[in-house]
Structure 1
Amino acid sequence: MKKSLIGFGVAGVVAVALLAGCGSGNDMAGMQHGSTTTPPSSTAEQDGHNEQDVKFAQDMIGHHQQALDMAAMVPGKSTNPKVTDLAKRIAAAQDPEIKTMTEWLTEWGAAPASTSMPGMDHGSGHGSMPGMMTAEEMAKLNGATGAEFDRMWLDMMIKHHQGAVEMAKTEQEKGASADAKKLAQDIIAAQQAEITEMQALLK
């Protein structure tokens, strides 16, 4: 009788151990299953940006660089203090934006936009961007002086700004980066105001 009880006790312990083992195995399986049910985030989602953000930064850097080249022509050519002041403000606003967007591209592991092209060559490399001046237009502007230069510069910069606003609106619609979309909004607000100012100067 004692042997039977002992045998029953041993069998019970083994059964409990087996059940415990199965339970822990199920727990582990459940944990492993849980760890794989959530799909991994894409790189874009993790970094908070998408392809549109990269394109916006790359293109806007080149776009801004041409605006800086146009602004750099003003001293010594313009006879209008208001045009000279506006050119200084455009350069002061857009140069830091170029640096910010360049930093984004580095963080995103994207190729930086080329900003090393001389001003006369910008138009040939960015024909697909709205508002960009051709190399011929830049050369013609560089050859003008006085009132003719002021009129031509204002006409071209209005067109240039309108192109930047169009690009910024596309970024707001299709971009994913909160920072890039905020910059796009800032560009729209600032350049729309400058377009109004330049249209008044032309009159």
Structure 2
Amino acid sequence: MNARPPAASPLTALLLTAALLVPLAGCAGSGSPPPARERAAASGSTPAASPAGPAGFSHVDSGWVQLALPMTEQALPLLDLAPSRGADPDLAAWAADVAAGHRADVAELRGLRDRMGLPDTNVHEGHAMPGMVTAAHLARARQAEGAAFDRLLLRLVRDHLTHSKKISDSERRNGTGPAARDLAAALAAARADALRTAPALPAR
């Protein structure tokens, strides 16, 4: 029987996230990664603590999936508010396109997660991760409407897309499994395209 890559514990996931997100901030209150990990991530090399598993996936690969999946899933409720809360039809159409792409990405990420033998739990539940749409963000969006909602949506989604692209670029450089790296490259390209096509909103 082939061994599966172990599911990352919350602590391991946070450390992996720090490596993926350097030079970005990690979880709120989690502190900075140790110097050796910082040097490894900054140099673009795979951290020594993330060896490839028997299936060809490393802990960097599994850490990326366990971050990219909830990051993508949690953006969907915000994007789906655009038609009913916003005022700009171009922004609503853009949000619908981004949401459609995210739903396809969620299916791909879940399939990869299952191939890795990872649990279907969110190890980042409740963490204030860069680019993660939180319950507080959603609550604010549900209270806003019109141009105020549009500005909030665009700011939150731009932040989400920017950080999603960064962690996917990091996985593409540092990951081991070809399937994970290929999906990360596709996600990074999609995020870049969404950022490029985002409509501009007036300041007021």
**TM class by smaller structure:** 0.5 to 0.7
Q: How many pairs were matched up?
A: 154
Classify 1:142/1:187 alpha carbon distance in 2 versus 1 (closer, same or farther; 3 Å). Answer: same
Q: 1:71 aligns with which of 54, 76, 79?
A: 79
Cα distance in 2, alignment partners of residues 75 and 114 from structure 1: 28
Match of 2:126 in 1: 125
Match of 2:168 in 1: 168
Cα distance per residue 1:2-47 (max 9 Å; x no partner): xxxxxxxxxxxxxxxxxxxxxxxxxxxxxxxxxxxxxxx9974541
Cα distance in 2, alignment partners of residues 133 and 94 from structure 1: 13
SS at match of 1:48: coil
Q: CA deviation at 1:161?
A: 0.6
Greater than 6 Å deviation, 4+ residue runs: none
Letter in 2 for 1:98: V
Return 5+ residue gaps in structure 1 as ranges.
1-40, 116-121
Return 5+ residue gaps in structure 2 as ranges.
6-51
Conservation of the 8 A alpha-carbon contact between 2:69 and 2:106: yes
Q: 2:63 aligns with which of 55, 67, 80?
A: 55
Q: CA deviation at 1:98?
A: 1.1
Cα distance in 2, alignment partners of residues 112 and 56 from structure 1: 14
Cα distance in 1, alignment partners of residues 115 and 180 from structure 2: 13
Cα distance per residue 1:47-105 (max 9 Å; x no partner): 12111111111111100011111111112111211111111111111112112211222
TM-score (normalizing by structure 2):
0.68
Q: CA deviation at 1:110?
A: 1.3
Cα distance in 2, alignment partners of residues 164 and 42 from structure 1: 26
Letter in 2 for 1:202: L
Q: Does 1:95 align with 2:103?
A: yes
Match of 1:202 in 2: 201
TM-score (normalizing by structure 1):
0.68
Letter in 2 for 1:105: R
After TM superposition, list the pairs within 5 Å mapping 1:76-155 onto structure 2: 76-114=84-122, 125-127=126-128, 129-155=129-155
Letter in 2 for 1:83: L
Q: CA deviation at 1:114?
A: 3.4
Cα distance in 2, alignment partners of residues 134 and 109 from structure 1: 26
Letter in 2 for 1:177: G
Which structure has more helix as a fraction of its residues? 1
- The two structures, once aligned, show a CA RMSD in angstroms of 2.4
Cα distance in 2, alignment partners of residues 110 and 69 from structure 1: 24
Conservation of the 8 A alpha-carbon contact between 1:80 and 1:150: yes
Classify 1:42/1:151 alpha carbon distance in 2 versus 1 (closer, same or farther; 3 Å). Answer: closer
Rg larger for: 1
